[in-house]
Amino acid sequence: MTALPESVRQAWEDRDGPAIFATVDPETGAPNIIYVTCVAMHSGDCLVVADNYFHKTRHNIDAGGSGAILFRDKAGKAYQVKGQIEYHTEGEIFDEMKTWNPAQHPGHAAAVLRVEQVFSGAEQLA
């Protein structure tokens, strides 16, 4: 696992609009991409997405697929974080997600992307 560089942590705090969450079906190689707004950083080495309405995304995570989160800061600079995804339906990260996920959404689980690589454009930052 890799920690997000400080510049990327700052960009995360200054992000603009929804993030994009991409997963891959490890059996077929088919990608699935969704917009996500219920997201947070956890411990500087993982990003958490609330599973409010996953379907194909949940299938890909359950099958052991990897994924990526793409976001832009308010200056328009894009960042991509790649890694393995875990699915938590209980425990510390799940409980934390329940504190920031809006009450009108179900928050079935917390999808945790463990940081392995970080890019801005073609430049690898971590």
State what percent of residues in the chain have pLDDT above 90: 91
What's the pLDDT band for 101 if we cut at 50, 70, 90? Answer: very high
Q: Which pLDDT band holds residue 1 (cuts at 50, 70, 90)?
A: confident
Which CATH superfamily includes the segment(s) 6-120?
Electron Transport, Fmn-binding Protein; Chain A (2.30.110.10)
3-state DSSP: the chain helix, strand, coil percent, rounded to 5?
20, 45, 35
Distance CA 16, CA 73 (A): 5
Query: What pTM, to 2 d.p., does this model score?
Result: 0.94
95 vs 43, higher pLDDT: 95
Overall average pLDDT of the 96-124 stretch: 97
Q: Is 90 exceeded by the pLDDT of residue 44?
A: no
Distance, in Å, from the CA atom of 91 to the CA atom of 70, rounded to the nearest integer, reads 26
Q: Report residue 26's pLDDT band, with 50, 70 and 90 as the boundaries.
A: confident
Residue 65 has pLDDT above 90, yes or no: no
89: Cα within 13 Å, side-chain hemisphere: 4
- Going from N- to C-terminal start, the domains of the chain cover 6-120
Task: Enter the tokens of residue 1.
Answer: 């696992």
Q: What is the pLDDT of residue 78?
A: 98
Question: What is the structure's pLDDT at 60?
Answer: 95
Torsion angle in degrees (nearest 10) through CA of 55, 56, 57, 62 = 90
DSSP type of residue 113: E
Quick one: pLDDT band at residue 106, thresholds 50, 70, 90?
very high
How many angstroms separate the CA atoms of 93 and 50, rounded?
10
